[in-house]
Chain A
Amino acid sequence: MIAFASLSIVLVASALWTIAARKPVYSVVALLVHFAALAGLYLTLGAEFLAVIQIIVYSGAILMLFLFVIALLSSGVAPFSVGPDRMPKAALPATVIAVIGLGLLLAGLLHAPPPSPAAPAVAGVAAGPVGAPGVFGSVAEIGRALFTTYLLPFEITAFILVVAIVGVLALAGDAGTARGTLRRAERVRRAAREAIMRGGE
């Protein structure tokens, strides 16, 4: 219980800081803390494998990706300056709608009739080493499920990853082509021009 309470406080606070931070880098850091607390929460729920995956993939890969993009976008541009706000009065109604949605979701989820479990449960909670088979949440168990019962979703997800890679390459990966070279050259020239102009102010 204490674990849950403290972890949830951290989770909510870090989430709030993520969306409210002024600089994007601060948001990334907050998100990092969020993910760490999330991994802890998974541990309390007996999902050891998932907790580790959370750290490795989310904190390790995705957040790094965010940082790289922040770095990339910061080059040559006044970092993250913003233009005029085109929806000035959006804050209040947006928040109201979100709160209403939250309330409805809570009402629905909390008062809903308890659904029945979909598949037969595994006997017993994790009472053994993590890697042992037959233990709930263990690596062996998850692995066995992934490669037998849920093989199709697994393969499809792999396919999604391939699609993502190809998509990213197609979208942003023309650095090696002539067009990319031209663009980089153009960008350098423009940055130099702006620096000269700003230098004159």
Chain B
Amino acid sequence: MIRHVMGIEGTYPLLLVVWLAPLVGAICCGFAGPVLKRGAGWLASASVGVTFVAALLSWADATAVRDGAVGAHQALFAWTHGIRFGLLLDPLALVWVLVITGVGFLIHLYSIGYMAGDRLFARFFAYMNLFVFAMLTLVLSDDFVGLLIGWGLVGLASYLLIGFWFERPSAVAAARKAFVINVVGDVAIMLAIFIMIARIGSAGFGDVFAAAPSLGNALFPICIFLFIGAAAKSAQVPLHTWLPDAMEGPTPVSALIHAATMVTAGVYLVARCAPLWNASSDAQLLVGTVGGLTALLGAILGTSQWDIKRILAYSTMSQIGYMIMGVGVGAYAAGVAHFLMHAFFKALLFLGAGIVIHTLAGEQDIRRMGGLRQRMPLAFWGMLAGVLAICGIPGFSGFFSKDAVIQGALDHGHPWLYGTGIVAAGITAYYMFRMFLVAFAGEFRGSLPPARLGFHPEVHAVHGHDEAEHPPAWIMGAPVALLTIPSVAAGWIMAGRPSPWERLMSLQFAVPAHLHAPLPEAATSALVLVMVAAGIGIAWVRYGGHRSAEEAADRLRAEAAGMPAILRTAFYFDVAIDALIVRPAQALGTFAARVLEPHVVDGTVREVVHVTRWFGDAVRSFQTGLVRAYVVVVVAGVACVLLYYVLVGGMTR
């Protein structure tokens, strides 16, 4: 069987450094934690930084082209059943590696300040480095099995980090929920790999993509299973319910894993399998529709949240919906571009929110905030930059990528998704500004009695208001400041014809020849801008303006009281999953424990014992102890032997 290898074969020591440095960091922090103490944070950050530098130095290798192969391929070792492990660094992987390590580096630095004073400081960084290693395994693998290994490890790291504060039952439950839903995706990808190996004999990217046109009716199932995996990891409908709960983890975790990188693994998978989607327009329609639906749903749900991190979680879900929609319909460059921009401004938003939470000693409800502009100017300006970027204000990074995605939906012939994207953009603007204004504008409401704001007094005291508020250390402020730069300016790599971005992406994805564009890009941008302006306007009217703290509190309380049930329960997804899956599973477990275990399993063992004992008793009745009985038996036996010899043995002829 001819192996198709993507990428130029060779030995790339830098690539190995890129892959393994975070693992070294994780092992050191994990096992030498008590020795390193505060140094663990610097060590972990350094390992990620080294990786980033090594990845930058590999740019030339990653973009090299020779005989139709793009990028660098480092073979590792062969396993069984045609599975071989190797590393592939091509433009697509390079984008992800740089984001993971670059943004990851900044977040590691930020965490040194955020997690200072935590009892399990070193363990946190061990987990973070483990996550980076896992994510790199995922994007650098040249084989679906290697990707699956990274996939699973990333899920593990997510579980460990969401439940990092394991004394909190809510965190433990959230970690478990995330892991279980991710396992659904893991199984789906495994099924896809099974089909691949059965049909093609290999799970390597090159082999599978080369065989894509000849897969016939196995193509759609593979695509479906892969997409189910992507949907679980990227929190697409209906496997999205774990993402808002995942905010139980520390804010740097939310920033790195649940905004910038791990949840985008699904986007990476879809983009990586471009040859598969290109061969199946049904799969493309499905992926695009799910992406668009998620974008809309996430936006709608973001309008009803009061926890600043949950708002950002739903916005992540919505933006990833955009990315999925983009790579789903075939606008790969646009979707990947949106991933890049989103990583910047979402990490910025989360880190800024982290500063707010840290400064307010654990407060996360925006109703208790307000008027923070003077108290935390850095967080204010940073989050403003992020909000403008995510709304797609012209000139900011989000503008370029989001409009490209929406235009891409139209270009590839999906007008409904086009409309969905535009509507969702407007809603996005509304709820992001809602969050921003409620948190930062007006007067500070944190000192008001809880009842005034609509809380029950004992609820929502989880984060502890005993700690004194303190301003953030410089190590937390610097990453925020640094991230504002790409959030604002990175979009310009997509400007120009051909833009630098297009030139990079054209190495990876073939540009389709026939694209009918009923509307030019300028018209799309105008439509989006109209919706965004409407959204901002509505938010301004409702939440902007200078109001006293009490007045604002009353308005917020009224809004919370009047929120419809369907929004409060997030479209009943959790309720439905609980009723359809959780309850039956628990009932099955109860049945097994109460009925199967004692009666079937134990019962079988007991019955075996009974039967054996009964049999023994039955046989024992022969042992009468009477000599005469034994004699009779002996004589009967002799008669049987004689019978045998007479009949069979030839004693008579």
Interface residues of A (CB under 8 A from B): 86-87, 90, 93-94, 97-98, 100-101, 104-105, 107-108, 111-113
Least Cβ–Cβ distance between A199 and chain B, in angstroms: 34
Asked if A107 and B652 sit within 8 Å, CB to CB, the answer is yes
**B649 → A minimal CB distance (Å):** 9
Contact A87 B636 (CB under 8 A): no
- B643 with A104: CB separation less than 8 A: yes
Q: Which residue of A lies closest to B629 (CB)?
A: A87
**Cβ-defined partner of B628 (8 Å) among A87, A97, A98, A108:** A87
Contact between chains at B628 and A90 (CB < 8 Å): yes
Residue with the highest number of chain B CB atoms closer than 10 Å, among A101, A105, A113: A101
Closest 6 CB pairs of A and B: A104-B642, A111-B652, A108-B651, A101-B639, A108-B646, A97-B636
Max count, chain A CB within 10 A of own CB: residue among B624, B626, B629, B646: B646
Contacting A93 at CB < 8 Å: which of B632, B642, B646, B653?
B632
Q: Show 20 A/B contacts (Cβ-Cβ < 8 Å), sorted by A.
A: A87-B628, A90-B628, A90-B629, A90-B632, A94-B632, A94-B635, A97-B636, A101-B638, A101-B639, A104-B639, A104-B642, A107-B651, A107-B652, A108-B642, A108-B646, A108-B652, A112-B651, A112-B652, A112-B653, A113-B653
Residues of B within 8 A of A (CB): 624, 626, 628-629, 632, 635-636, 638-639, 642-643, 645-646, 651-653
A112 to B643, CA, bound (A): 14
Q: Are A101 and B635 CB-contacts (below 8 A) given A87-B626, A87-B629, A90-B628?
A: yes
Contacts A87-B629, A90-B632, A101-B638 given; 16 further ones with Cβ under 8 A?
A: A86-B624, A90-B628, A94-B632, A94-B635, A97-B632, A97-B636, A101-B635, A104-B639, A104-B642, A107-B646, A108-B646, A108-B651, A108-B652, A111-B652, A111-B653, A112-B651
Chain B residue contacts of A97, Cβ below 8 A: 632, 635-636, 639
Complex: A86 Cα to B626 Cα, angstroms: 8
Residue ID in chain A nearest B632 by CB atoms: A94
B642 to chain A, nearest CB (A): 4
**A113 surroundings in chain B (CB, below 8 A):** 653
Instruction: Report the Cα distance A34→B215, complex, angstroms.
Output: 99
Cβ–Cβ < 8 Å partners of B645 in chain A: 108
- B572–chain A nearest beta-carbon distance, Å: 81
CB of A103, distance to nearest CB on chain B (Å): 9
B contact residues around A111 at 8 Å (CB): 651-653
Q: With A and B bound together, what is the CA distance between A32 and B632 in angstroms?
A: 27
Distance from A195 Cβ to chain B, minimum over Cβ atoms (Å): 31
Among A90, A104, A105, A111, max chain B CB count under 10 A is at A104
Contact assessment for A101 and B642 in the assembled complex, using a CB-CB cutoff below 8 Å:
yes
The closest CB in chain B to the CB of A86 belongs to: B626
Known interface pairs A97-B639, A111-B653. Does A104 touch B646 (Cβ–Cβ under 8 Å)? yes
The listed residue (A90, A94, A105) touching B642 by CB distance below 8 A is A105
Pair A100/B629 contact, Cβ less than 8 Å: no
User: Closest residue to A87 on the B side, CB-wise?
Assistant: B628
Give the CA-CA distance A98 to B645 in the complex, in Å: 17
**Within the complex, which residue of A86, A100, A112 is in contact with B639, where a contact is CB–CB below 8 Å?**
A100
| Residues in A whose Cβ lies below 8 Å from that of B642 | 101, 104-105, 108
Complex Cα distance, B633 from A93, in Å, reads 11
* A100: min CB distance to chain B, Å: 5
Question: Would you give the shortest CB distance from B640 to chain A, in whole angstroms?
Answer: 9
Residues from chain B with a CB closer than 8 A to the CB of A105 are: 642
In the assembly, what is the distance between CA of A94 and CA of B646, in Å?
21
Chain A neighbourhood of B646, CB < 8 A:
104, 107-108
Question: In the assembly, what is the distance between CA of A133 and CA of B114, in Å?
Answer: 124
User: Chain A residues with Cβ under 8 A from B643's Cβ?
Assistant: 104
Which chain B residues border A87 with CB–CB below 8 Å? Answer: 626, 628-629
Cβ distance B624 to chain A, nearest Cβ, rounded Å: 8
A97 CA / B624 CA spacing, docked (Å): 20
Return chain B residues, CB-CB under 8 Å to A94.
632, 635
Distance between Cα atoms of A100 and B652 in the complex (Å): 16
Contacts of B639 in A (CB 8 A): 97, 100-101, 104
Closest B residue to A112 by CB, please name it.
B651
CB distance from B227 to the nearest CB of A (A): 80
